[in-house]
Homo-oligomer: A and B are copies of this chain.
Amino acid sequence: MAEPALDALVDALRRLPGVGVKSAQRMAWHLLQHDRTGARRLADALGDALQRMRHCARCNTFTESELCSTCSDPRRDARLLAVVETPADQAALERSGGYRGLYFVLMGRLSPLDGIGVADVGVERLLARACDGVVEEVILATGFSAEGEVTAQAIRQALEARGLKVTRLARGVPAGSELEYVDLSTIAYALVDRR
């Protein structure tokens, strides 16, 4: 069946993480047959997000403004800077209710095997951010997977070379797991026990 518009839609949906060819076909079928409103909304939301979302000038997360809402919040403790891999990890820390400092979002992690090095995860921008004279402590909150540990280690060395105090979330977080999926009380413990 040569239907280029349908094939192009299935191909585009397949590029989404975790979506295989059967899922993509089902999604395309569902959108065209049962949810054309949803399809239109998704197309508009994609265009909108591409046009409006950029990176916060301070913490590197996604935002529509120059600064994200967390960085603009005067009630946050600007002496603490937590380094996380993704906005989802930042959200997990926020939900734990145990942290009132600021963030730096790497938007990735080191992965030497995949050729993702220090330059690819914004470490230079993190160094500039952490050396603003206000930050007193950088809390490494990257995941406890092998790659998260490598990332934390590389950042620790760079920051300590500049004389900053660096801590790591306590090992209350189960080794090998992703921060995003850890239960909230474990995250709260890990914040208290940071070393």
Contact B41 A5 (CB under 8 A): no
Interface residues on A, range: 35 or more
List 8 A-B pairs, minimum CB-CB distance, nearest first. Answer: A43-B46, A12-B42, A12-B45, A15-B38, A9-B45, A5-B52, A9-B49, A8-B45
1/0 per position for A21-54, CB-CB distance to B under 8 A? Answer: 0110111111111011011111111111111110
Taking CB atoms, residues of chain B closer than 8 Å to A88 are: 22, 25-26, 29
Contact A27:B33 (CB < 8 A) given known A6-B62, A50-B43: no
Partner of A48, one of B5, B30, B35, B86: B5
Instruction: Report the separation of the CA atoms of residues A1 and B62 in the bound assembly, to the nearest whole angstrom.
Output: 10
Instruction: Report the separation of the CA atoms of residues A76 and B25 in the bound assembly, to the nearest whole angstrom.
Output: 25
Instruction: Report the separation of the CA atoms of residues A5 and B39 in the bound assembly, to the nearest whole angstrom.
Output: 16
Contact A91:B1 (CB < 8 A) given known A15-B41, A18-B26, A35-B15: yes
Shortest Cβ distance from A4 into B: residue = B64
Instruction: Report the separation of the CA atoms of residues A15 and B22 in the bound assembly, to the nearest whole angstrom.
Output: 17
Instruction: Report the separation of the CA atoms of residues A108 and B48 in the bound assembly, to the nearest whole angstrom.
Output: 32
Within 8 Å of chain B (Cβ to Cβ): is A119? no
A107 → chain B closest CB, angstroms: 5
